[in-house]
Structure 1
């Protein structure tokens, strides 16, 4: 899902994306997240032992990246995370290697 078009001002849309991510990978409905920080913790605890392939498409700020895929340790061994953006500077700010 295109992150840029799915998020806007405020954190409500980031919560919705976190819930969609968890629902699509874990298979259960997640409608109980109260904050982005809580969502980060739930993603980490739910997915840290799962091998996942995640595409985070078209981010336009680092909060979006940190809300959905903050660290490699959130995901199990062998996971692959692909992040796309139009703003090359976002990768430079986060220290992510890019091509």
Structure 2
């Protein structure tokens, strides 16, 4: 690439900083999983919405791909492998 700078070749994820409140149960779950997989729980939590969005934008709505809605709670994430949240550097690149 003539005239391209190395910085121009780096793909960067756009991030938006938000404040969100999680249940103690959810945070403890991510802390336990992060410890098992030698990663940071904040990183796992941050990757969860990306993995959820990617999974549901590629998978046709089917009974196995839907989320369940517990009484009085938000939908539970389904169909996302926990290992992806622990080991990947983010959502898989499309190619």
Higher-strand-fraction structure: 1
* More relative contact order, 1 or 2 (CA 8 Å, 6+ apart): 1
Q: Which has the larger radius of gyration?
A: 2
Same fold (TM over 0.5): no
The two structures have a TM-score, normalised by structure 1, of 0.25
The two structures have a TM-score, normalised by structure 2, of 0.26
